[in-house]
């Protein structure tokens, strides 16, 4: 049982780290690079990213993080409170990041995609202004939640003896 607990914690840490790293990468590079582009370029790049990111590798990490962290919590059970509490905290943080993604980032992505081809948008500055500040703000929040989840999973690994 201890081996299964350890494997679940490791898988949860890796997948949560991958997703948090993706969000972090957007915060520190992608959105900063796009800040200096014109509105149509910004919209086109973000629309392309919205399409490209929907792939099996992303889904594996994104859903895997929730499933592996949930499995770790279930496997740890009440006999391993030392690791259970931080793992449960990680599950809460990661679930909150998914909630934010579903409630804010995805609807913003869909609205941006619905604006249509950038060359045909009559007022691209308005479309960008409705998207960029809110998307960046919520991406920062979900990044911080994922960082918190990874730290809690690391704590769980340490106290578990992994």
* Total domains in the fold of the chain: 1
The stretch 123-134 carries a mean pLDDT of: 98
Give the residue from 84, 100, 73, 95 showing the smallest Cα distance to 149. 95
In which domain, by residue range, is 66 found?
2-160
pLDDT of residue 79: 82
Give kind and range of the element (H or E) at residue 31. Answer: helix 31-35
Instruction: Judge whether 94 and 151 are in contact, CB under 8 Å.
Output: no
Instruction: Judge whether 50 and 112 are in contact, CB under 8 Å.
Output: yes
Res. 67: pLDDT tops 90: yes
pLDDT of residue 162: 61
pLDDT of residue 27: 97
Instruction: Judge whether 127 and 121 are in contact, CB under 8 Å.
Output: yes
The stretch 89-96 carries a mean pLDDT of: 98
Give the residue from 159, 109, 100 showing the smallest Cα distance to 130. 109
Query: What pLDDT, in 10s, does the model give residues 8-61?
Result: 999 999 999 999 999 999 999 999 999 999 999 999 999 999 999 999 999 999
Whole-model pTM: value is 0.95
Query: What pLDDT, in 10s, does the model give residues 47-63?
Result: 999 999 999 999 999 99
């Amino acid at each position: 049982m201890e081996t299964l607990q350890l494997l679940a914690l490791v898988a949860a840490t890796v997948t949560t780290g991958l997703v948090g790293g993706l969000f972090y990468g957007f915060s520190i590079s992608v959105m900063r690079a796009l800040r200096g582009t014109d509105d149509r370029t910004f919209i086109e790049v973000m629309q392309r990213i919205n399409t490209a990111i929907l792939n099996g590798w992303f889904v594996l990490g994104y859903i895997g993080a929730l499933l592996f962290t949930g499995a770790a919590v279930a496997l740890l059970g009440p006999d391993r409170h030392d690791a259970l509490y931080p793992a449960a905290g990680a599950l809460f943080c990661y679930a909150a990041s998914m909630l934010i993604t579903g409630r804010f980032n995805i609807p913003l992505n869909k609205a941006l995609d619905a604006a249509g081809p950038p060359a045909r948008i009559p007022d691209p500055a308005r479309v960008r202004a409705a998207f960029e500040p809110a998307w960046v703000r919520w991406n920062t929040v979900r990044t911080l939640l994922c960082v918190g989840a990874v730290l809690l999973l690391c704590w769980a690994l340490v106290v578990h003896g992994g």
